[in-house]
């Protein structure tokens, strides 16, 4: 059984405290959390979602009441050997006492997206990868498992990269959930060629209902929306519902889609999906949303209604006193291999740059709003560059860093680095650094030492970061390091405070 919540993720671990700023219309899970999947266990509810190019892979959140959520793990700490990237659309399933994740990733040997499967005795950690279960043409993505009268099927999207209509396909899988066999079944075809993916199934009365998302999933020009079709047989043929859009997004949101269902303790159906905030859009990414499902439509068709929650964004106050870093930290695994040590009020960040990366290493968190301040204290001095950054890719970074006796404010755009401003500092004293981010996607940068007042760099020059988010994922914000493996950056705190609008 799948389920999710009205409440926001509180991504706080032992090393930090969390306060909050209220907002009027909230996501169910704020920040970058596309393609959500949910499972209900004896210990509560677990949710996981797409992580794209950020590691660790597939964050997992837990709730006991569908109101308060906390991150408890990741599906993979390291990428499975066969994969190279594009970690999309994880899907939970359970067989007996074993948890399954069916996930999409690009295959290392040919860069083709396939569907893999991993298992664990726990829903939030300890997963063992079993490799590819679906390899179909140029692309196979968006797995969903359905049990029809004791026969397990894996359903997926195919032909998204071919010069032909997309199809939603199904194939039988073995009782242990690890192997697909038999002929593929075509369930539904995108004859209109507008996009079709993110399917899930419910049986109600004599009908099998196939819910899916049409349109473009991602970016400012997205057109995602939820549709439904039904059949008296799982294998079809399916009749498409005449309505152009089954689910109207919540006020202030757009491009709703790719969801799964659950029931609460009273048997009420909920649909968990993602959508973009109309204001922050790609900056905060596709966020987890919630809708209700009822069977009161014309001629037995379902109706859906988006839920707009009211709650608060969590602020982060991390003092690095725990033995391990908090779970909200992520990094670009394509371009850096970080070495992180934490404890006694210090976080040490070092490691190795990969694949010719000269842009540095990001150790960041998901932004949950587009109006906040983040700050840190750098306690050591060496020639390495260390401090704060907004990081989209190695070709799109805004940084505020120290090296030697200098603080620098710089921008990497299209792979080219420009120095925006710099100042001389006392190399024998810790340095505090601060970024101020406003809803117009511009930033201001500040630094100070000791009891001095904050000093602004590039005074009067608000720098745009509108080009940092990528097509399918927002940037990360947080700590930055660029140096040799023998150097390190040492931080004594990290704070991210969301501002009231």
Q: What is the set of active-site residues?
A: 35, 197
First-to-last CA distance in the chain? Answer: 38
Q: What's the CA angle centered on 261, arms 159 and 309, to 5 degrees?
A: 115
The label of the residue with tokens 């020639």 reads 383
Q: How many residues does the chain have?
A: 501
b/e code 17-35 from CB counts within 10 Å (16+ = b): ebeebebeebbbbbbbbbb
Under 8 Å between Cβ of 49 and 287: no
Closest CA to 35 of 87, 113, 99, 96: 87
Under 8 Å between Cβ of 54 and 366: no
Q: How far apart are CA 497 and CA 101, in angstroms?
A: 34
Task: Give the three-state DSSP class for 283.
Answer: helix
Closest CA to 119 of 86, 93, 82, 150: 93
Q: How far apart are CA 476 and CA 116, in angstroms?
A: 26
- Sequence-distant (≥ 6) Cβ neighbours of residue 489 within 8 angstroms: 348, 349, 350, 378, 380, 384, 386, 387, 479, 480, 481, 483
Cα–Cα distances in angstroms (integers) from residue 319 to residues 27, 308, 345, 364, 496, in the given order: 27, 33, 6, 15, 12
Task: Give the three-state DSSP class for 355.
Answer: coil
Widest pairwise Cα distance in the chain: 76
| Alpha-carbon torsion (287, 24, 467, 329), positive or negative | negative
CA 106 to chain CA mean position, Å = 17
HSE-CB of 154 using CA atoms within 13 angstroms: 36
């Amino acid at each position: 059984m799948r389920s999710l919540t009205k409440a926001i993720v509180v991504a706080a671990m032992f090393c930090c405290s969390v306060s909050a700023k209220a907002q009027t219309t909230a996501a169910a899970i704020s920040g970058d959390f596309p393609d959500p999947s949910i499972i209900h266990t004896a210990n509560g509810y677990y949710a996981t979602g797409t992580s794209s190019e950020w590691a660790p892979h597939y964050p997992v959140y837990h709730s006991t009441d569908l109101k308060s959520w906390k991150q408890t793990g990741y599906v993979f700490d390291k990428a499975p050997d066969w994969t190279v990237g594009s970690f999309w659309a994880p899907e939970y399933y359970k067989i007996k006492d074993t948890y399954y994740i069916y996930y999409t990733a690009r295959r290392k040997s040919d860069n083709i997206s396939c569907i893999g499967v991993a298992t664990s005795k726990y829903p939030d950690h300890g997963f063992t990868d079993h490799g590819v279960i679906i390899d179909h043409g140029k692309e196979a993505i968006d797995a969903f498992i359905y049990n029809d009268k004791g026969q397990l099927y894996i359903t997926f999207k195919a032909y998204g990269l071919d010069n032909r209509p997309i199809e939603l396909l199904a194939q039988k899988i073995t009782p242990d959930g690890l192997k697909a066999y038999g002929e593929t079944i075509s369930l539904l075809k995108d004859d209109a060629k507008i996009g079709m993916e993110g399917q899930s199934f419910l049986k109600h009365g004599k009908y099998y209902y196939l819910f899916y998302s049409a349109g473009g999933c991602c970016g400012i020009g997205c057109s995602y929306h939820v549709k439904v079709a039904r059949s008296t047989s799982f294998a079809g043929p399916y009749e498409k519902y005449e309505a152009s859009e089954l689910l109207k997004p919540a006020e202030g949101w757009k491009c709703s889609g790719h969801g799964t269902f659950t029931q609460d303790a009273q048997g009420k159906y909920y649909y968990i999906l993602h959508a973009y905030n109309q204001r922050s859009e790609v900056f905060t990414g596709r966020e987890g949303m919630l809708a209700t499902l009822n069977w009161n439509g014309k001629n037995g068709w379902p109706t859906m209604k988006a839920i707009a929650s009211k709650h608060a964004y969590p602020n982060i106050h991390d003092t690095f006193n725990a033995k391990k870093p908090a779970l909200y930290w992520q990094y670009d695994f394509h371009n850096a291999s970080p070495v992180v040590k934490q404890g006694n009020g210090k976080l040490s960040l070092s490691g190795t740059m990969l694949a010719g990366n000269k842009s540095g290493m990001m150790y960041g968190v998901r932004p949950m709003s587009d109006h906040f301040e983040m700050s840190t204290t750098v306690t050591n001095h060496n020639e390495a560059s260390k401090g704060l950054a907004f990081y989209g890719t190695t070709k799109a970074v805004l940084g505020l860093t120290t090296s030697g006796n200098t603080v620098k404010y710089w921008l990497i755009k299209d792979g080219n680095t420009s120095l925006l401003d710099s100042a001389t500092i006392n190399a024998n004293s810790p340095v505090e650094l601060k970024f101020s981010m406003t809803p117009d996607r511009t930033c201001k940068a500040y630094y100070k030492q000791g009891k001095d007042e904050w000093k602004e760099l590039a005074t009067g020059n608000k720098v745009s970061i509108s080009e940092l988010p990528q097509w399918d994922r927002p940037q990360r914000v947080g700590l930055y390091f660029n140096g040799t493996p023998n150097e390190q950056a040492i931080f004594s705190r990290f704070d991210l405070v969301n501002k009231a609008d």
